[in-house]
Amino acid sequence: VPPDAVPPSNRPDAGPLTRRLAEEIRASGPVTFARFMERALYEPELGYYARGGGRIGPGGDFFTASDAGTAFGECLARQLAEMDRVLGSPRRFSILENGGGRGLLARDVLDALGRMAPDLRSRAEYLLEDAGEGMRRAASENAPEAQVVVPGEAGTGHVGCVVAVELFDALPVHRVRRRAGRLVEVLVGLDAAGGLVELEGPPTPEAAELAAAYGAAPGEGDEAEVCPRLDAQLARMAAALERGFLLIVDYGYPADELYAPARRRGTLLAYHRHTVSEAYLARVGEQDLTAHVNFTHLLDAARRLGLDELALTTQDRWLIANGLLERFDEADPDRWAEPGRVRRRLQAMTLLHPERMGRTFKVVALGKGVSGVRLVGLRDPLARSGPAGGSV
């Protein structure tokens, strides 16, 4: 971290959240990076996600799939319609979106269901959960037909699908490093001038356990992130469902790729105004912090919860299987050049291109009480073996 990127917490221009963190560290000693990240992102009123929906999108700090037009929501609506058929078209089909952010996906899915599957739309209830109060405010405005709730309020006994897009990459992570053959954990403490600073200490048991299980930071000087919070998050999502599916879309890799030499600095990044940096301790509450998901950990956690692994595929394949390209069947060639149509084709490229979102983003489908189900929307026609979705 460049030292000049982190203003000392005791300087008058240090933000209020930096000062609060410094108070905690003065009172009880250095904190784990996960604790720092938790407060930086989710502190009521001051945390990054508490403060408002304008932080995601063109005028904010980063884009997500719903910023590339309505295509992602339309493909998800198609996938949900297939799930509904497999579940026997229940009287009420619940769509439980966790980490629904600004509500753009909720809006697009409900609009698409209204057009493509009116019967399902009439039986669907859309519950959008988000940990950030600012995000919940934005979601209520953007998706008035969704019910916006705080985490834990969605209840249990639902039949339908739990959806989480870019939720797991926003969970607080622990950072570990290999020093003289031993694992150490990155902590956040104070320097002599009172500024937030990275320190190293013995690893917390939960971080050490995950690092050992998945081979994180194998080589001298390597750094990596592990996410003990993943298990509890997935458990909570699964507990809401009586029967149905969990669909998780996020960027990340299986453990052997995530902790490979190519990523020996880890995957943690700070996002501010569409610029990435490693100045994690700067602009506390003003920038996003995010790390890639360990999909091996996610699937292990799913197995421990008794969920069926239905698919692990890439976003490009999942979107194509759910009709992304059929949107461009256009009988009248004169209309191809209309600006709106060209824009939609370019947005599709953002979602599909292997160096944009197409390959780094994975789609995981899990089932609860639906074993043996094979969904067309998750079948990968190119896969030779493995679970329904095939290999990544």
Ligand X SMILES: C[S@@+](CC[C@H](N)C(=O)[O-])C[C@H]1O[C@@H](n2cnc3c(N)ncnc32)[C@H](O)[C@@H]1O
Residues that bind ligand X (CB under 6 A): 49, 56, 64, 66, 98-101, 129-132, 135, 151, 165-167, 170-171, 233
Contacts of 192 (CB under 8 A, 6+ apart): none
The distance of closest approach from Cβ of residue 335 to ligand X in the complex, given in angstroms and rounded to an integer, is 30
- State whether residue 304 is helix, strand or coil: helix
Q: How far, in Å, are 185, 303, 323 from residue 329 at the CA level?
A: 53, 40, 11
> What would the two tokens of residue 114 be?
């209204």
The distance of closest approach from Cβ of residue 290 to ligand X in the complex, given in angstroms and rounded to an integer, is 7
Task: Answer whether 50's CB lies under 8 Å from 16's CB.
Answer: no
Of 9 and 233, nearer to ligand X (C-beta) is 233
Of 6 and 36, nearer to ligand X (C-beta) is 36
How far apart (Å, rounded) are the C-alpha atoms in residues 245 and 18? Answer: 40
Of 14 and 165, nearer to ligand X (C-beta) is 165
The distance of closest approach from Cβ of residue 97 to ligand X in the complex, given in angstroms and rounded to an integer, is 7
Give the type of residue at 156: T
How far apart (Å, rounded) are the C-alpha atoms in residues 249 and 84? Answer: 19
> What would the two tokens of residue 234 be?
């997935």
The distance of closest approach from Cβ of residue 368 to ligand X in the complex, given in angstroms and rounded to an integer, is 19
Q: Which of 67, 63, 102, 95 is nearest to 79 (CA)?
A: 95
Of 107 and 379, nearer to ligand X (C-beta) is 107
The distance of closest approach from Cβ of residue 171 to ligand X in the complex, given in angstroms and rounded to an integer, is 6
The distance of closest approach from Cβ of residue 62 to ligand X in the complex, given in angstroms and rounded to an integer, is 8
The distance of closest approach from Cβ of residue 298 to ligand X in the complex, given in angstroms and rounded to an integer, is 15
How far apart (Å, rounded) are the C-alpha atoms in residues 30 and 320? Answer: 47
Of 132 and 195, nearer to ligand X (C-beta) is 132
Among all chains, which residue has been given the structure tokens 């966790």?
Answer: 98
Between the CA atoms of 385, 390, 391 and 392, what dihedral angle is there, to the nearest 10 degrees? Answer: 170
> What would the two tokens of residue 219 be?
């080589």
Of 74 and 222, nearer to ligand X (C-beta) is 74
> What would the two tokens of residue 37 be?
């990240």
Of 48 and 198, nearer to ligand X (C-beta) is 48
Question: If residue 323 lies in a helix (H) or strand (E), which one and from where to where?
Answer: none
The distance of closest approach from Cβ of residue 339 to ligand X in the complex, given in angstroms and rounded to an integer, is 25
| DSSP secondary structure of 273-284 | TTEEES-TTSST
Of 51 and 178, nearer to ligand X (C-beta) is 51
| Helix runs in 87-128, H state only | 104-116, 118-123
- State whether residue 214 is helix, strand or coil: helix
The distance of closest approach from Cβ of residue 64 to ligand X in the complex, given in angstroms and rounded to an integer, is 3
Of 99 and 389, nearer to ligand X (C-beta) is 99
Give the type of residue at 41: L
